[in-house]
Amino acid sequence: MEKQYRLFFLLMVLFLLLAGCSSNDERKQEVSEEKVELTISAAASLQDALTDIEASFEKEHPNVQVNFNFGASGSLQQQISQGAPADLFFSAAEDKFDKLVQDGLIEEKNGIDLIGNELVLVVPKDSTIGIKSFNDLSEADKLSIGTPESVPAGKYSKESLENMNIWNTIEEKVVYAKDVRQVLTYVETNNVDAGIVYKTDALISEKVNIADTADENTHDAIIYPLGVIKDTSHPEEAKLFYDYLQNEKSMNIFEKYGFKGLN
């Protein structure tokens, strides 16, 4: 009788242990399937490539929803510095990114220089002015670039024009834009005679022609750093997307849009 009691007792303990394990597994599954939203602050020039990557990522990770905050890297950096919610920062300029690293908002170990770009001169598709190179900009009535203080493409553009000894002759004609996509829009709508944008922006537009490409020696290297915000509310999911942006599938998408891999 005593043996039967002990056997019954052991079976009950085993049952309770198994039930507990099952309950824990269910809780783990519930946590893994919980919907998480990530906010990615990214340079405006990344919009098309990241939208493609987002669709691919969310198919593989349906519990993670990616929301983008696109804009000029300088403006995005200031937003994050002032406490705006963000999980990752994807900048079009190293100095804006480095400022967040220096301020302790991004840990250096959680950052990488991921892709590069080129600077090009674009004109409206139907332009009859005859601008075929940077040296022809004297023929333009208006030229658009991003605001150099906040838009990396604008900073690179001014730097390049200065090194080509063109800036002083066209400075009064410059129409400044809030980001590189606005420059592109100005050219597409014939509000200006020419604009300087990234090659990736020019390639997505059917309304502009690339007239010239700036020599890489005329401006700082165009590098896009990516990093995880230190105080992200979703560190595991943020790291998941951070790693996903570096995989072969994502890099192929970046290259499809004209970006250059750096690693």
1-5, 58-62, 205-209: the lowest-pLDDT one: 1-5
The model's pLDDT over 170-181, given as tens digits with 9 standing for 90+, comes to: 999 999 999 999
Q: Contacts by 97-105 with C-beta closer than 8 Å and gap 24+?
A: 97/73, 97/225, 97/227, 98/225, 100/227, 100/229, 101/227, 104/230, 105/80, 105/81, 105/229, 105/230, 105/231
Range from 7-11, 15-19, 23-27 carrying the lowest mean pLDDT: 23-27
The CATH number that applies at residue 199 is 3.40.190.10
Domain span including residue 232: 35-116+223-261
pLDDT of residue 22 exceeding 60: no
Domains of the chain: total: 2
Give the model's pLDDT for residue 31.
Answer: 38
pTM exceeds cut of 0.85: no
92: in domain: yes
Share the mean pLDDT of the chain. Answer: 90
Q: Annotation-wise, does 31 bind a ligand?
A: no
Annotated binding-site residue? 73 = yes
Q: Is residue 12 part of a domain?
A: no
Give the model confidence (pLDDT) of 110-132 as tens digits: 999 999 999 999 999 999 999 99
198 a known binding residue? Answer: yes
